[in-house]
């Protein structure tokens, strides 16, 4: 059934079990349930009240999961207009006032005045190779003092280089997806 292929399920929090649709843009792949479950187990101590930036939102699975689990602010950024339209529809459906969207390329979005975030999700199309550029801009002004940065990349590629004051806290692989959670260490 085509409709079910274009859905994901929120796995925890206030909207646990809710299914949401997403626009099937080319290359869009929602983070699988088991990866999200692992990630949000890692983030459980820091998600409540967090300010979250989902920079390559796509389906919005990571951002909606964060909001469901108590994040106070979630910004979903994506460049595709139909993706943004579907994200806005899902926000209205859930009546999620702490969630906003912005249609923009990721690096262009980061050119605006910074709004420091506690957690950032980076799940770009694998062929884009923008992770390291995003890391540099995020570190310059977009992160709270001890922010957490989650990123996914093709497991057949080397791990992207991190800013010197970021440390990988957790790392796993599921099929073609390698995923890591880094923590920013405050600089003096």
Q: What is the pLDDT of residues 46-97, one digit of tens each?
A: 999 999 999 999 999 999 999 999 999 999 999 999 999 999 999 999 999 8
- Sheet strand arrangement including 117-122: 99-103, 73-78, 51-54, 117-122, 143-154, 177-184, 166-174
pLDDT at 130 over 70: yes
Q: Are the C-beta atoms of 15 and 94 separated by less than 8 Å? A: yes
pLDDT at 4 over 80: no
Please give the Cα distance from 159 to 176 (Å, whole number).
13
Domain ranges of the chain: 33-184
Mean pLDDT score across all residues of the chain: 93
Return the CATH architecture of domain 33-184: 3-Layer(aba) Sandwich (3.40)
In the chain, % of residues over pLDDT 90 = 80
pLDDT value, residue 173: 92
Please give the Cα distance from 13 to 43 (Å, whole number).
13
Tell the residue number behind the tokens 């929090």, with chain if given: 13
pLDDT value, residue 39: 96
pLDDT value, residue 2: 43
Please give the Cα distance from 33 to 14 (Å, whole number).
16
| Helical residues (DSSP H) of the chain, grouped into ranges | 2-5, 33-43, 61-68, 81-94, 106-109, 131-137
pLDDT value, residue 29: 77
pLDDT at 3 over 60: no
Vertex 163: Cα angle to 79 and 34 (nearest 5): 60
Cα–chain center distance at 61: 8
């Amino acid at each position: 059934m085509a409709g079910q292929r274009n859905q994901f399920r929120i796995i925890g929090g206030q909207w646990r079990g809710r299914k949401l649709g997403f626009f099937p843009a080319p290359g869009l792949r929602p983070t699988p349930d088991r990866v999200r479950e692992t990630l949000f187990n890692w983030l459980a101590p820091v998600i409540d009240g967090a300010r979250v930036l989902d920079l390559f939102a796509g389906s919005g699975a990571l951002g909606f999961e964060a909001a469901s689990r108590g994040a106070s602010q979630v910004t979903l950024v994506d460049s595709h207009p139909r993706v943004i339209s579907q994200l806005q529809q899902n926000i209205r459906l859930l009546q999620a006032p702490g969630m906003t969207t912005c249609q923009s390329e990721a690096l262009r979005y980061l050119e605006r005045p910074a709004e420091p975030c506690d957690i950032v999700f980076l799940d770009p199309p694998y062929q884009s190779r923008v992770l390291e550029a995003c890391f540099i801009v995020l570190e310059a002004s977009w992160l709270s003092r001890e922010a957490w940065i989650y990123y996914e990349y093709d497991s057949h590629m080397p791990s992207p280089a991190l800013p010197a004051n970021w440390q990988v806290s957790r790392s796993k692989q599921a099929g073609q997806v390698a995923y890591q959670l880094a923590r920013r260490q405050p600089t003096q």
